[in-house]
Structure 1
Amino acid sequence: MSNSILNIRNGAMAVIALALLVYANSLGGGFVWADHTVIGEGRAILGSPADWARAFTQPLWDFTGSDSPGGYFRPIAAASYTIDHAIWGENPFGYHLTNVLLHAFISLFVFLTLARALPSLSVALIAALLFAAHPVHTEAVAWISGRTGLLAALGISASLFFFLESERRPGFFGISLLFFAFGLGAKESAVLTPILLFLVVRAKNGRISLVPYRRLVPYAVLTVVYIFYRQWALGGIGTGSAVAIPPATLVPTMLRVLGGYLRLLLLPIGLHTNDAVYLSQSVFDPRAFFSLAAIAGFVWSALKYGGERRTVLLGLLWTATALLPFLNLVPLLHFRAERLLYLPSIGFVIVLAAALERWIPHLPAGSAKFGRVPSSVLAGGALALVLGGMTIARNPVWKDDRTLFEDTIRKSPYAPEARYMLGYDAYEKGNYSEAAQHFTESLRIDPNAIAFLPTPWALANLGYSFQKLGDSASAVRAFQRAIQIFPGMERAEFGLALALQNLGESDQAIAIYRSVLTRIPRHEDAHYNLGIVYESMDSLARAEESYRNVLDINPSRKEAHTNLGSVLAQMGRGEEALASYHAALHQDAMDPKVHFNVGLLYARNGQSAPAIEALTEALALDSTYSDARELLEFLQSQADER
């Protein structure tokens, strides 16, 4: 076409612009779901050289100090969160911005790769536009913790592009390998890169020749090295706990899941976060046969009517390959998830783009002055805008936990993890009764379904909710169930000790903390909580020892200085107590409680002037501090009488 504006540069600009446009309104979202643990609590923020080393030698949740059943090897993801944290701190805007930029770059590399590999630039552009805008990607892009899939896709797509470019510029071959390694460090799905490279080269060349395929050998070698390294670091291959599901149940169930994925790609409505799947009770489940028929029909239609055969085959084989890791042949935590479609969807949009080019009349549109565009590209662009509008409408659902998971419950009522997160949200907001209801509902097991739920954490959080509601007996039962499932779970152990203490079982609480200290002698919180129990029992010498152990581990812990001061004051060691209070104020001079304790200590020693000064400061910091006001008024009245 002599006066066409369809070229690589303009296509790249259009793809980037669309990717940025449709996710711009996700930038105002907050931390949701796993973001609270990964980022909000700083669990995946690498704060020391030792953290960085552990990130490359241990599962994600091991090096973050949090228990999880998932064997995730994600050092690149942790590094990206750490970089964001260094720039943005606790502001979620920056993390969302990174996700959106990653999606834009991936969309660009998809376009550039397809432009090199496919015979039609129109198909490459249509596919990239559809990929950039498709709403099924909102879970991967609008959710900060969905970044692992983005990083892996960036590694894969960039590796493919630079591999193709290296045919003309050999220096790019090393860059391609580096991006492949980058993807492997981001998520396990990057292991598919050599297969996808084979498919892309096959589509580009139209035949099998050993010459270009020899260049894939380093990728195969790196894949083998990665598998052995991951096996060494994690002690396994899968990312979840093995669930004994017989093939007669697994096969029809996964067929139904795949049928659902096809429906989401074709008609992306009713999107939600729920991963619960009802298991097929028979290999002859009619729903599985319906899904199989739908998939077979789509494949047959694509091959017969979808357009240029090499292009269609690439799309179909790409999707089939990219779905392989998510068939639960190797145990996964989640049976289904929309974010898992991020990479497979590239093959789907290739097929759709090829069909549009075949069936939309090959008529140029536009003016001679501004250039002409094939009508198939205009149709594909229009479809991308429709999909983009759906994405823009979906993004606000990801703004906070309540909005997100209430949306999930409306669309998919049996959603244990959504219930769990609603309980978490309610607990954080002080709605403990609502939190207990949600945690209880999340633990309601449907024997016909399989769904991920961090059961010990749900039980532990239920226990803390009961504790806040004053029901220590129910809290004890919840904590005990959590520990039974997950022995050594510190959150549940500490909660159980607290509940037992409230029930007057201080000796049992002490035994729990000592058990923790047997495993981890320098466990700061165990020493601290032990000090609180001893202090409540008037075992002041042991309380002093516990608080000093805390300060030996962490000299800047203000609460330990404050509590040690209180213990020393009760033991009649006023000067030492005052020194402890001053150490606490050195950490936080704005704590009214510490100023009150200083005033109380002076008052008990008959030193009214410094006592009045300290109490006045406490009230200046907290005008509602009634104990400080009463003591100050008493001291002032005594001074007036004199």
Structure 2
Amino acid sequence: MSTEVRTESSIAANGPGVWTRLRTTLWAYRLPILVLGGLVALLYRPVVGYDFVTWDDPWYIVRNTHIQSWHPEHLWAIATEPIARNFAPLTIFTFLVEHTLWGLWPGGYHVTNVLVHAINAVLVFVLLRQVTGRGGIGWAGAVLFAVHPVQVESVAWISSRKTLLAATFTLASLICWLKRERTGRDEAWGLLWLVLGLLCKVSTVVVPPIVFVFDVLVRREDRGEAIVRQVVPAFFCAMFVLMTASAQFTYIGGVRGHFGMNKLHLLAVDAVILWKYVGMLVAPSNLAVLYDPPTVGIAGQMALSIAGWGLVAWLAWRERERHPLVTFAAAAWILLLLPMLNLFPLTTLMNDRYLYLPCIVFFGVAAAGAEAAFRWIVERWPALQAGTAARLVPVTAGVLLLTAVGGTYGCLTTRQLPVWRDGASLWSHAREVTPTLAVVHIEWANVLHEHGRDEEACAVLVEALEECRPDEADRERIRRKLSEWRTETAGHLGAVESR
């Protein structure tokens, strides 16, 4: 009896401790939770009324029989089979849970995406404040992360759940690992979040190299010790890379013109695209579901882009002793984008969702630069060097600048959101922005066909054949669809005439 009492007492003692720590953490971050969550909810409230789109949503949800039942056969398939080029069992499991809750009501799936994005915004605040030691940088980075229009694709597209969830666990893992004073418990939790992230999307593989760079540059650890510490995380990452790589060739769709490039040519194109990404983060415009960046005839752009990134790399390396966080930021920017640079073939060269996590580095550096600029002005303006003014002027200027920039990006986000209302709005907009891509015309034709406008759909496919130079796979898809739809149209006409 006494043993049972002691056991119950110990459980009672340990249980409240866990919940107390959780309540303490939530209370400590109540302000960012309320502010960032409110911003995300305010901006993305229209998506509750949005539909599924004809871009991966049918594969992940609408036609996915595995999420329609909890039968062991379906659970095994979710745990072992890639879907739409991705091995993401935890992501698919969330769709199983949601399908159980609300079936094929798209609003429920959209609400989940918005909630996960809000959680990620809070995690961005925690991570930036922890790494930089500056609350202002944490706030600026988190607000811009929450409201920037480049995030619309990741949040408003249900199938981008894998990006959102992988980001959640990536951020949680980095919060555990990127500490100047780190415990064994931190590393254990960091490993757990890493594995969960890999189960959502393989892009989480960036965590071990980012942690290695942080340990060497910021914590000043010996390289050998830092590498040994990442052996187990790297093992899990390698497993998931191998499981995902083969799936990239099993799905027809996307853009594949870059598949035949040698790696040097591809890296040169990537250098150009990286500068395009910087431009998208500074002044986002003409955002679309797919892009058609040029890959030939741009030797001058490639040379300038490579030279520009070479200069950035040299400046960052030169500052590694005085400003290790600057060098770390440069390395983290490249590492976060590395899975999307097509060193392992992907069916797109460039997407908005590829910036979902890398933008954190950009916004953090921009916020740090703005803060340094404000302090530089105060130091050189004697009238502002009084105690109160020296504190208030940079803070006030920072708040006003963040409000202006964040408000501008928020307005652009509200304008971009309706693009993702349904398949018709998505692909009609894509035809305006990227009319040169055959896949865009094919998807627009699919929308027309679903609405019974077969003649228009066939005309769109013929236009794609004549003007978009589709590759052989897309050419075959177009021919097959033309044959099927023309047969259906002829059958309908014959039925009408027989009446």
Q: What TM-score do you get using the length of structure 2 for normalisation?
A: 0.79
Q: What is the one-letter code of the residue matched to 1:397? A: V
Q: What is the one-letter code of the residue matched to 1:95? A: Y
2:49 corresponds to which residue? 28
2:427 corresponds to which residue? 405
Query: Is structure 2 residue 291 aligned with structure 1 residue 275?
Result: yes
Q: What is the one-letter code of the residue matched to 1:125? A: W
Q: Secondary structure at the match of 1:186?
A: coil
> How many Å separate the matches in 2 of 1:346 and 1:400?
29
Alignment of 1:479-494 (within 5 A): none
> How many Å separate the matches in 1 of 2:151 and 2:132?
24
Query: Is structure 2 residue 102 aligned with structure 1 residue 88?
Result: yes
> How many Å separate the matches in 1 of 2:210 and 2:452?
49
Per-residue deviation, 1:264: 0.8
1:287 to 301, 311, 320: 301
1:56 to 76, 79, 83: 79
Residues 248 and 345 in structure 2, CA contact (< 8 A), matched pair in contact too: no
2:39 corresponds to which residue? 18
Flag the structure with higher helix content.
2
Structure of higher RCO (CA pairs closer than 8 Å, 6+ residues apart): 2
The alpha-carbon distance between structure 1 residues 244 and 455, as it changes in their structure 2 partners (threshold 3 A), is same
> How many Å separate the matches in 2 of 1:251 and 1:296?
13
1:40 corresponds to which residue? 62
1:317 to 311, 331, 335: 331
Per-residue deviation, 1:428: 0.8
Per-residue deviation, 1:13: 3.6
2:16 corresponds to which residue? none
Percent identity (aligned):
26
Q: Secondary structure at the match of 1:27?
A: helix
Per-residue deviation, 1:295: 4.3
> How many Å separate the matches in 1 of 2:194 and 2:269?
32
> How many Å separate the matches in 1 of 2:239 and 2:263?
30
Q: Secondary structure at the match of 1:277?
A: coil
Residues 312 and 354 in structure 1, CA contact (< 8 A), matched pair in contact too: no
Residues 118 and 204 in structure 1, CA contact (< 8 A), matched pair in contact too: no
2:269 corresponds to which residue? 253
> How many Å separate the matches in 2 of 1:393 and 1:406?
15
Per-residue deviation, 1:110: 1.7
> How many Å separate the matches in 2 of 1:208 and 1:107?
33
Alignment of 1:609-624 (within 5 A): none
1:579 corresponds to which residue? none
Q: What is the one-letter code of the residue matched to 1:333? A: T
Per-residue deviation, 1:46: 5.5
Residues 29 and 92 in structure 1, CA contact (< 8 A), matched pair in contact too: yes
Per-residue deviation, 1:243: 2.5
Per-residue deviation, 1:301: 8.1
1:198 corresponds to which residue? 212
Per-residue deviation, 1:263: 1.4
Cα shift readout 1:493-550 (whole Å, capped 9, x = no counterpart): xxxxxxxxx9xxxxxxxxxxxxxxxxxxxxxxxxxxxxxxxxxxxxxxxxxxxxxxxx
2:137 corresponds to which residue? 123
> How many Å separate the matches in 1 of 2:449 and 2:96?
27
Per-residue deviation, 1:43: 5.1
Per-residue deviation, 1:300: 7.3
The alpha-carbon distance between structure 1 residues 463 and 44, as it changes in their structure 2 partners (threshold 3 A), is farther
Alignment of 1:76-225 (within 5 A): 76-164=90-178, 170-201=184-215, 205=219, 215-225=229-239
Q: Secondary structure at the match of 1:360?
A: helix
Query: Is structure 2 residue 454 aligned with structure 1 residue 432?
Result: yes
Residues 374 and 394 in structure 2, CA contact (< 8 A), matched pair in contact too: no
Gap regions ≥5 residues in structure 2: 1-27, 379-383
Residues 117 and 201 in structure 1, CA contact (< 8 A), matched pair in contact too: no
Residues 166 and 203 in structure 2, CA contact (< 8 A), matched pair in contact too: yes
Q: Secondary structure at the match of 1:469?
A: helix
Q: What is the one-letter code of the residue matched to 2:113? A: N
> How many Å separate the matches in 1 of 2:303 and 2:152?
29
The count of corresponding residues between Structure 1 and Structure 2 is 452
Per-residue deviation, 1:278: 2.7
Q: What is the one-letter code of the residue matched to 1:28? A: G
> How many Å separate the matches in 1 of 2:316 and 2:372?
11
> How many Å separate the matches in 2 of 1:298 and 1:442?
40
State the structure with more CA Rg. 1
Cα shift readout 1:62-86 (whole Å, capped 9, x = no counterpart): xxxxxxxx3x212122112112211
> After the TM superposition, which of the residue ranges 235-244 and 189-198 deviates more from structure 2?
235-244
Cα shift readout 1:543-577 (whole Å, capped 9, x = no counterpart): xxxxxxxxxxxxxxxxxxxxxxxxxxxxxxxxxxx
> How many Å separate the matches in 2 of 1:382 and 1:140?
24
Per-residue deviation, 1:454: 5.6
Per-residue deviation, 1:230: 5.2
Q: What is the one-letter code of the residue matched to 2:83? A: L
Residues 73 and 185 in structure 1, CA contact (< 8 A), matched pair in contact too: yes
> How many Å separate the matches in 2 of 1:223 and 1:149?
16
Per-residue deviation, 1:175: 3.0
> After the TM superposition, which of the residue ranges 155-164 and 350-359 deviates more from structure 2?
155-164
Q: What is the one-letter code of the residue matched to 2:259? A: V
Per-residue deviation, 1:89: 1.1
1:466 corresponds to which residue? 486
2:282 corresponds to which residue? 266
The alpha-carbon distance between structure 1 residues 99 and 199, as it changes in their structure 2 partners (threshold 3 A), is farther
Residues 202 and 208 in structure 1, CA contact (< 8 A), matched pair in contact too: yes
> How many Å separate the matches in 2 of 1:454 and 1:433?
20
Per-residue deviation, 1:95: 0.8
Per-residue deviation, 1:98: 1.0
Residues 82 and 247 in structure 2, CA contact (< 8 A), matched pair in contact too: no
Residues 123 and 172 in structure 2, CA contact (< 8 A), matched pair in contact too: yes
Q: What is the one-letter code of the residue matched to 1:433? A: E
Residues 326 and 332 in structure 1, CA contact (< 8 A), matched pair in contact too: yes
Q: What TM-score do you get using the length of structure 1 for normalisation?
A: 0.62
Cα shift readout 1:224-243 (whole Å, capped 9, x = no counterpart): 34345557xx5889999792
The alpha-carbon distance between structure 1 residues 382 and 31, as it changes in their structure 2 partners (threshold 3 A), is same
The alpha-carbon distance between structure 1 residues 285 and 235, as it changes in their structure 2 partners (threshold 3 A), is closer
Q: What is the one-letter code of the residue matched to 2:176? A: F
Residues 248 and 346 in structure 2, CA contact (< 8 A), matched pair in contact too: no
> How many Å separate the matches in 1 of 2:51 and 2:287?
19
> How many Å separate the matches in 2 of 1:21 and 1:312?
33
> How many Å separate the matches in 2 of 1:299 and 1:377?
28
> How many Å separate the matches in 2 of 1:228 and 1:265?
32
> How many Å separate the matches in 2 of 1:155 and 1:121?
22
> After the TM superposition, which of the residue ranges 132-141 and 371-380 deviates more from structure 2?
371-380
The alpha-carbon distance between structure 1 residues 376 and 212, as it changes in their structure 2 partners (threshold 3 A), is farther
Per-residue deviation, 1:381: 4.0
Residues 156 and 179 in structure 1, CA contact (< 8 A), matched pair in contact too: yes
Gap regions ≥5 residues in structure 1: 1-6, 62-69, 473-501, 503-626, 628-642
> How many Å separate the matches in 2 of 1:377 and 1:150?
29
> How many Å separate the matches in 2 of 1:93 and 1:171?
39
Residues 87 and 243 in structure 2, CA contact (< 8 A), matched pair in contact too: no
Q: What is the one-letter code of the residue matched to 2:341? A: L
The alpha-carbon distance between structure 1 residues 299 and 387, as it changes in their structure 2 partners (threshold 3 A), is farther
Per-residue deviation, 1:17: 2.8
Alignment of 1:346-385 (within 5 A): 346-361=360-375, 374-375=395-396, 377-378=398-399, 379-385=401-407
Residues 319 and 347 in structure 1, CA contact (< 8 A), matched pair in contact too: yes
1:331 corresponds to which residue? 345
Q: What is the one-letter code of the residue matched to 2:38? A: A
> After the TM superposition, which of the residue ranges 103-112 and 11-20 deviates more from structure 2?
11-20
Residues 158 and 176 in structure 1, CA contact (< 8 A), matched pair in contact too: yes
> How many Å separate the matches in 2 of 1:113 and 1:201?
16
